[in-house]
């Protein structure tokens, strides 16, 4: 018997998953992305449910920090 959820090879459940920083869906499964950045000398991990959200967020960040 095959458990389809075990294909991901992850212990994380949807409820445990961090929220996507862009769309606030659970950052969960094979498509998820994590960006590590340093904010005020502290390492921060920003989670995304997929590449599209990461790209959109990074574009937004760049514009927000640009004078």
Distance CA 65, CA 51 (A): 21
Instruction: Say whether residue 22 binds Zn ion (CB under 5 A).
Output: yes
- Based on the shown chain and the rule CB under 5 A, indicate whether residue 21 belongs to the binding site for Zn ion: no
In 1-67, which residue ranges form alpha helices assigned H by DSSP?
A: 51-65
Position 46 contacts Zn ion (CB under 5 A): no
Among 12, 17, 23, 56, binds Zn ion (CB under 5 A): 23
For residue 28, the minimal CB distance to Zn ion (Å) is 10
Footprint of Zn ion (CB under 5 A): 20, 22-23, 25, 49, 53
């Amino acid at each position: 018997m095959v458990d389809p959820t075990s294909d991901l090879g992850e212990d994380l459940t949807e409820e445990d998953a961090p929220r996507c920083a862009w769309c606030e869906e659970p950052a969960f499964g094979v498509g998820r992305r994590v960006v590590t950045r340093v904010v005020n000398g502290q390492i921060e991990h920003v989670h995304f449910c997929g590449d599209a959200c990461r790209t959109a967020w990074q574009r937004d960040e760049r514009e927000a920090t640009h004078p």
